[in-house]
Each structure stands twice: as structure tokens, then as C-alpha cells.
């Protein structure tokens, strides 16, 4: 599968989902992610998929941004603790929607896919950057220049 | 008297998003029940009258496809409409679900207006509906 097509679909899907589900507007950025991109910890979410190809989607963002996503998705007041506490569930759902939309836009309904269950983990920026890096990767920056990185890791073989 | 609804999804956030969207449709919503998966949903359906079920597909213990199958096998539940809420936009899969009795589907993310349209399509236009003809 063409990497450029996947990357374009991933970027478009992520921007659309963030806007429609969480009212978060983003712009693509070519700046590389580094340790300074996230001053504190990073929330990394992964979601496996199988089909004609298999692999997993990944999304990384700060815990603060993930909490904001939860607040917006739930229509809660900013800073509401109960809403903010659901940030892992919220960002997992965001990635679930991104994966479905990306696969649909990239393949245009010509194949059946199975999506796994999102799994979230907190880590340091150093640990995140020392992990595997995909060439199908997009950085998006929010209005406040906070980065969100999404990527697709493709494994050899399919279903 | 509003529609009594069951929302089935393993994501608490998604269940709350659906419930919030239901409150914004302008339709009369009665009691909204929640379930984390198909097994919990069947327990609710065993004890409560439900006008419409919103169900995710990917869930632990019993997924949406199995839930739909169980409902179709039960004389008491086979006519209860199910709307699938999913990130999966594959037309082949959605056609399979329709063949199994799913009345409609909603792709995530969705707007309250779209939810209203789908519910109206499945349940018919409510009486005294300010948006109706």
C-alpha cells in the first residue's frame, strides 16, 4: 500500500475527528517531535488493526491535551475533574475514530478490517522518542502550538 | 412519554457522548440505560422495556454482532430496533449488519442532527414534533 496515500488519509482523518468530536482545530507541522515538544509526560495510545495489511495506529499527546479532549467530548466545564479523569478513554475513542476513517479513506471500502481495543500508556518524552518511529507519521499542532503525533505502523502480511 | 433507550458501548466516554447527543436531538427521551457490553445489555433487555438500542460493535465478553444475533433469536427482542454506532465505515460490513436485522448505523463522530434523522427514520416521526410536517 502506498505510504503517501496512507499518510494523507491519516492527516485528513485525524484533523476531521479532532474537529468534529472535540472541537480541536489543528494544522500540520513539519517540525520534528523532540523532548521539548512535551515538557512533562506523554500519553501514547495504540490500536491494532488487521485486514489486507495489519499493524497498529498510534497517537501521542500531552495528558493536559487529552484531558481537554475528554472535557470537550463530554460537553463538561473546563477543569471538571470527573471529565478530565476520563482522558485515556477519550483519546482511545479519538484514535478509534481516526483509524476507521483513515482505513475507509485510504481503501475506499474495498476491504474488511478489524480494529482492536485502544490501549493507553503514560511515558516520558525520552521513552517515547526512543521507541519505534514509523514513516507514516503526521504531526499536528493545536492553536496553542501543542503537538499531537499520529502514526501507522504496518507489519508484513495480512489477515 | 419518551423513548426508553439502551446505549451499549465499552467506552464510558462514548456512552456519555451518545446520551448527550440524544438530549440535543429535540426528541422525547425517557429513561436511558447503559451497558458496557452485550452481556450487560441482555441483562437490561431482560428486565426493562427498551424502545431502541444503540450498540457498538467491538466490545469485550459479547460484541455487538453477537448481541444482535441473540436479540434476533429472542421472540421478545427480535422487533426491538438496533442502531449500530461504529467507526467502521466499510460498506460490506454495514451491509452484513443490515442483513442481520440492524435498522441503521451511525458513523462516529456524528452530530445530534444526524442522530435525530436516523432515529426518526427508524422509529417514525414523533407526534407533536415541532420539526415534523
Of A74, A100, A113, the CB nearest to B13: A74
pLDDT at site B131: 41
pLDDT at site B101: 87
Using the beta-carbon criterion (under 8 Å), do A74 and B60 form an inter-chain contact? no
Confidence of residue B126 (pLDDT cuts 50, 70, 90): low
Is the Cβ–Cβ distance between B112 and B25 less than 8 Å?
yes
Query: Which chain B residues are Cβ-neighbours of A111 within 8 angstroms?
Result: 90
Query: Which chain B residues are Cβ-neighbours of A74 within 8 angstroms?
Result: 13, 16-17, 20
Cell of B115: 442522530
**Can you tell me the ipTM of this complex?**
0.84
How do residues B37-55 score in pLDDT, each as one tens digit? 999 999 999 999 999 999 9
B3-8 vs B29-35, strand pairing mode: parallel
Nearest-neighbour CA in chain A from B76: distance (Å)? 31
How do residues B4-18 score in pLDDT, each as one tens digit? 999 999 999 999 999
Using the beta-carbon criterion (under 8 Å), do B12 and A89 form an inter-chain contact? yes
CA distances from B97 to A102, B3, B40, B53 (A): 21, 23, 21, 14
Confidence of residue B125 (pLDDT cuts 50, 70, 90): low
Using the beta-carbon criterion (under 8 Å), do A21 and B108 form an inter-chain contact? yes
For chains A and B, count residue pairs whose Cβ atoms are closer than 8 Å.
62
Look up the pTM and report it. Answer: 0.90
> Which of A24, A51, A104, A108 is the best substitution to test chain B (most B C-beta atoms within 10 A)?
A104
Please list the residues that pair with A154 across neighbouring strands: A55
Place of cell 478490517: A113
| pLDDT, block means (10 residues), chain A with 159 residues | 89 96 95 91 96 93 94 90 90 96 80 88 95 95 94 78
Q: Is the pLDDT of residue B133 over 70?
A: no
| Cα distance between residue A117 and residue A123, in whole Å | 19
Amino acid at each position: 500500500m502506498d505510504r503517501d496515500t496512507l499518510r494523507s488519509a491519516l492527516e485528513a482523518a485525524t484533523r476531521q475527528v479532532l474537529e468534529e468530536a472535540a472541537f480541536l482545530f489543528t494544522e500540520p507541522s513539519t517540525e520534528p517531535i523532540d523532548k521539548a515538544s512535551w515538557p512533562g509526560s506523554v500519553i501514547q495510545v495504540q490500536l491494532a488493526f488487521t485486514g489486507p495489511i495489519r499493524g497498529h495506529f498510534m497517537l501521542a499527546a500531552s495528558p493536559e491535551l487529552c484531558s481537554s479532549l475528554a472535557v470537550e467530548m463530554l460537553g463538561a466545564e473546563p477543569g471538571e475533574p470527573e471529565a478530565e479523569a476520563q482522558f485515556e478513554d477519550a483519546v482511545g475513542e479519538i484514535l478509534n475514530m481516526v483509524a476507521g476513517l483513515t482505513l475507509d479513506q485510504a481503501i475506499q471500502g474495498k476491504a474488511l478490517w478489524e480494529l482492536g481495543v485502544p490501549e493507553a500508556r503514560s511515558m516520558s518524552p525520552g521513552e517515547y522518542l526512543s521507541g519505534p518511529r514509523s514513516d507514516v507519521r503526521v504531526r499536528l499542532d493545536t492553536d496553542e502550538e501543542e503537538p499531537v503525533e499520529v502514526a501507522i505502523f504496518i507489519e508484513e502480511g495480512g489477515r | 412519554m419518551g423513548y426508553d433507550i439502551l446505549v451499549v458501548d465499552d467506552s464510558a466516554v462514548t456512552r456519555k457522548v451518545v446520551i448527550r447527543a440524544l438530549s440535543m436531538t429535540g426528541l422525547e427521551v425517557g429513561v436511558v440505560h447503559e451497558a458496557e457490553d452485550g452481556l450487560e445489555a441482555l441483562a437490561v433487555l431482560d428486565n426493562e422495556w427498551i424502545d431502541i438500542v444503540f450498540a457498538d460493535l467491538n466490545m469485550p465478553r459479547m460484541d455487538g454482532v453477537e448481541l444482535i444475533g441473540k436479540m434476533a433469536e429472542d421472540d421478545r427482542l427480535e422487533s426491538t430496533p438496533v442502531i449500530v454506532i461504529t467507526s467502521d465505515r466499510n460498506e460490506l460490513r454495514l451491509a452484513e449488519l443490515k442483513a442481520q436485522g440492524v435498522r441503521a448505523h451511525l458513523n462516529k463522530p456524528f452530530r445530534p442532527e444526524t442522530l435525530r434523522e436516523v432515529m426518526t427514520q427508524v422509529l417514525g416521526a414523533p407526534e407533536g414534533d415541532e420539526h415534523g410536517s
